[in-house]
Amino acid sequence: MNSQMQCNAKELAALARRPSSYFDKEGNLKICRLFVDDKCIEPRERWCRLKGNLLFLMKNKTKSLEASEVVILERCCIVEFRNKADVSVVLKFQSGEPDLYLEAATRSDCESWAVALGEANSEGLRNKIQQLQRLIMEIKEERTADEVQQYLPSAQADSLAEPKLTSLKRTVSEPKLEFSLACKDLVAPTRDRKLNTFVQIIVVHPGEQTSARYSSTEIVEGTRDPLFLTGVTFRPDYPIYEETKIKLTVYDVKDKSQDTVRTSILAEHKEPRTDIGRSFLGCATFKVGDLVKSKEEQLSLSLRSSDGGKTVGTIDVSLVKMGEMEEGEADHITTDVQGQKCALVYECASPENTRSKDNLPLLNAVLKNPICKLYRFPTSDNKWMCVREQMSESTLSFHIPKELINLHIKEDMRRNQDLKELGELAPHWDNMRKSVVAHCDQMLTLYQDMLAELGKYTGSSFKSSCSKGEKTLEFVPVNLHLQRMYVHSPRLKDILYDVITVGAPAAHFQGFKNGGLQKLLNKFEAERRNTGYQCIYYSPENTAKAKEVLSNINHLQPLISSHADLLLNSARQHLPDCLKNSLKMLSETTELFVHAFKDQLIRSALLALYTARPGCVLKKPTVPRNNVEEGGDQPNQEHPVQIKRQDSIPHHSEYDEEEWDRVWANVGKSLNCIIAMVDRLLEKDNTSSVEKENDSDPSTTEHTASCTSGDWCEQLYPLIVTLKDCIGEVVTRAKQSMSFVLLQELACSLPQCLMLTLRRDIVFSQALAGLVCGFIIKLHSSLHDQGFLQQLHTVGLIVQYEGLLSTYSEEVGMLEDMAVGISDLQKVMFKITETKSDILLPVITGRRGHYVIEIKLPEKMFELLPQEIKEGKLLNVCPVLFNVGINEQQTLAERFGDTSLQENVNQENFELLKEYYKLFTEKMPPDCLPHFQEQNDLKGLLENLHQNIQAKKRKNVEIMWLAATICRKLNGIRFTCCKSAKDRTSMSVTLEQCSILRDEHQLHKDFFIRALDCMRREGCRIENVMKNIRCRKYAFNMIQLMAFPKYYRPPEGTYGKADT
């Protein structure tokens, strides 16, 4: 007991014996003192009774109730152990007395004692009183409208009951309202207290009189005149009106790490305790209409204490207009904060304003649920730059997977049907086919079930990190978002910086026990080579060629038939010009058809298929060879037996290896006959027209015309039938032979082959959804850049992926999946078309390995494109991946494991980037690059990147910085990926944004770290964490962060243990 306090022992003894109803809390606790020299007495059980700030430690729970000690709970703090297994707390005394250890029987009992002891002292009582006073003030504000309405005439009361709300006048794509905040002359609770303040923004909705916590500023430390870098922005669809009230509450934070209300996750049944980590300073309320109508576009409000009487400072609310530009010098408001003076410039021009109305439908089609944040940062020349950060989900997260799965189902159904139509096979091959078809049908059912499940999905438009292992969402990318930063800075052009953030494309549900795609594909290929006599080995290139031939068959045969019918129709109507055009289209398509089948693989596969028929006879023994160049290349020296026309692939007879050449050549001969016939018909037509001019009898002229018209169609018809028959025969032979090749691939390793295809489809689907989103956003933001559009159709776009995966444990498999998935994007092509429909979602056509993405644009946007793109030219992309692991697992990999995968990925993709740059410099003029870039800059950056890759330095994050810079200078699309695009991705994206502000927009060097902390603590990325795991904390712990590079560590109080 404190010696300076005078206490009456008899009164305390009498107080201790009062009945249980008199005390705030009582119960059994084990208690002992903790001394500085670690001397500790064994805890003894005591009956404890709490009244006010007095804790009575009773000897036992008896009628005598004699107290052994009385503890006064002043100038002490309660340390509660957060481990779920702990059931103890410690009372620490500022006077230097030994700490008091208290142990409860259960965890819940321990928590209730901790709360009771924390609220027992005078400070806890003051916090309770302040909380009640604030509650009374809010109730008074809510009652004001009701009280006024009670004494008004009925007509006026009705108008109050249903108020007419005044909308804010802004463009449809602009935020409804944006403002910044600064406080002056704040009064601290105690003289020696240095304030660490932040402002909480609460929106009071008119009419309903309901309030909602909207956002907060960052914490500004050590000043009574805080100027907040984080502003407030209301997205375009937010329901805010001139009548809306906004309440600003200023808090003093005692310790950032203890600011639990703003950063921690709370149990569902508990309310946040406002007395921990922060204390109330003052609040002010204003109407939105007062701010927007103010001539100065600024309000200076008095901050009132909790009882509403005492003024504790002022808060300045300044309107921000990033959509307008005024001529002349902007008003200067100078402030001296932490030694720097800055001029306040708020108004700036948006690069989207002039065309946002036309482009908005496209953005609305692919983006959803935007989250906006506003900042103002000082520049090196003492001015302000305005920065708007935006994060949006994409509807393509689910649209692209559904489109792809639908195409997979159609492709697999065709393949299964082709296998069934192979005809009669020898028993060994027939059993193999039955087994393959059975497995393929099972896999087809799996795809159909997945498509059905995705069709039923009605949740959010993105897949959270917690759902990455869900089977029904395997094809959906993890946490796909657009991260956009719009910057207006003095004397520089306004500019947008976009990054697509998405979880690494990987098959999380299938797992990584046996590695990722890269390892599994190599293993599968090795097993196929060693299959022995069971099946014929065809290389991956030949298998891909077989799929291409089948695709060409399905595409070209209907086209030839259609053009042939048009030719007959033109002949029937006796239209010479139409006849010429139809013949030209037929000739071009047939030539493509003939060229598509001029491949040695088909000859080899036909021979292999013949040997697989039952009872096949070879006059000269021939073994199907796995080398295409060898198979079927030797002509048969003997004269073969004549093969009947109806046998598509000869069997039960001698095989003529030259038969395919004759059948294939017949297509060209048939086409030549048609061309010759059309030439003769047109020549006769010209001759007859001359005779008509000399003949004056009209009846003779009509008779001649009708006879000629009939002759044209009759003479062309048999030739067209012959051409179709020849093409049909070629198609039947080629389709069966190529299906036989695919049968070998599938039969070599069932069901592993199909599971590997499924895994690759899953990874590709996730990668493609992100790519299509990035392409559309890039196209939208660069439609007025003629250099970009020329680059797009001349050399294509560079797409740079930044990977943050480690090369240790499961993330090795993720990186292998990601590397293959991104590499597969090289074969994706884009096509831009015009549409008058309101449906602007992209359409996918093609097959595995050859997809075309059709991007639909409204008429006004389509008019801006170059003629080459309007005519349907296919546009390609060049995806590159650079990966650098940064977490504690990468530390283990670098010291005890293997980093060769990362090194190989970086080296291979550097070569791809160098090839793209070479093509770019050869075909593109220098002026197509952004105005502040030069070719020499790019060359130096590429050399620097190559040196860093070769250096093999640990956690060399400069590789990522250089690759990202090169991508931006080449007008590319930027991606940042980690396991779930939540924590490491957030650190990287915010660092990239602040680095751009520093390097390109002269961010004041003293504010770099503060700007970084602002974006990480209050920006879009912490909102992304909240969306994913319902907790406003990055999933790092202190030990992990010790292994992170310096600038990839989040600010204190924003990280902790969380389920991801």
The helix or strand, by DSSP H or E, that contains position 76, with its residue range, turns out to be strand 76-80
Amino acid at 366: V
Please tell me whether residue 503 adopts helix, strand or coil conformation. Answer: coil
Task: Output the six-digit token pair for 543.
Answer: 């298998």
Amino acid at 228: F
Q: What is the largest CA-CA distance in the chain?
A: 145
Q: How far apart are CA 809 and CA 1007, in angstroms?
A: 38
Question: DSSP label at 751?
Answer: T
CB crowding 777-793: b at 16 or more within 10 Å, else e: bbbbbbbeeebbbbbbb
Q: How far apart are CA 606 and CA 584, in angstroms?
A: 32
H/E/C letters for each residue in 714-737? HHHHHHHHHHHHHHHHHHHHHHHH
Opening angle at CA 89, ends 84 and 95, nearest 5:
155
Please tell me whether residue 426 adopts helix, strand or coil conformation. Answer: coil
Task: Output the six-digit token pair for 465.
Answer: 């990190």
Amino acid at 726: C
**Among residues 855, 1021, 720, which one has the least CA distance to residue 362?**
855
Q: How far apart are CA 658 and CA 449, in angstroms?
A: 46
Question: DSSP label at 628?
Answer: T
Task: Output the six-digit token pair for 689.
Answer: 């027209």
Listed in sequence order, the residues at least 6 apart from 804 whose beta carbon sits closer than 8 Å to its beta carbon are 883, 884, 885, 886, 887, 976, 977, 978, 984, 985, 988
Give residue for tokens 């309901």: 210
Task: Output the six-digit token pair for 2.
Answer: 């404190």
Strands 335-337 and 311-319: unpaired
Dihedral, CA atoms, 6, 11, 17, 23, nearest 10 degrees?
A: -60
Q: Are residues 808 and 391 in contact, defined by beta-carbon separation less than 8 angstroms?
A: no
Q: Are residues 537 and 675 in contact, defined by beta-carbon separation less than 8 angstroms?
A: no
Return the active site residues.
978
Q: Are residues 281 and 303 in contact, defined by beta-carbon separation less than 8 angstroms?
A: yes
Give residue for tokens 């796995």: 626
Listed in sequence order, the residues at least 6 apart from 151 whose beta carbon sits closer than 8 Å to its beta carbon are none
Q: Are residues 280 and 130 in contact, defined by beta-carbon separation less than 8 angstroms?
A: yes
Q: How far apart are CA 401 and CA 419, in angstroms?
A: 27
Q: Name beta bridge partners: 973.
A: 799
The helix or strand, by DSSP H or E, that contains position 298, with its residue range, turns out to be strand 298-304
Give residue for tokens 């550097």: 910
